[in-house]
Amino acid sequence: MPIDATRPYDDSNIFARILRGEIPARKVYEDAHALAFHDINPQAATHILVIPKGAYVSWDDFSERASEEEIAGFVRAVGHVARAEGLVAPGYRLLANVGPDSGQEVPHLHVHIFGGGPLGPMISPR
């Protein structure tokens, strides 16, 4: 169910629980600023989620409140995962949903990394 990205951070969301170790995840990368793990419902041959370790609801929230160090660390983590997964040469797609019109379902910023084969059109024609 899509969420309202303008609401305060809810620390009971699934990604906060993964960060606290309450829910297992198939981790592929972790550093001081980010955690990356396989999506439990993959939409492509490779489908990895990268989340910041801070409590940010959306890209908008993150870009407004995160420190420069957190922003740089998160962006570098996304690039590191794409390189480590061998996605740079064949290509990959990044997706970050913000708010109900985009279909954001978890109130914690996350970037989807899709790859592993042709991905089709970015958005289905209306």
CB count, 10 Å around CB of 23?
Answer: 12
Active site residue 110: yes
Distance between CA 35 and CA 20 in Å, rounded? 11
Environment class of residue 116 by beta-carbon count within 10 Å: exposed (0-12), middle (13-18) or buried (19+)?
middle
- Chain centroid to CA 122: 17
Task: Considering only CA atoms, give the Rg of the chain.
Answer: 14
Choose the catalytic residue: 33, 38, 108, 110: 110
The first and second tokens of residue 23, run together, are: 């829910």
**Active site residues per annotation:** 110
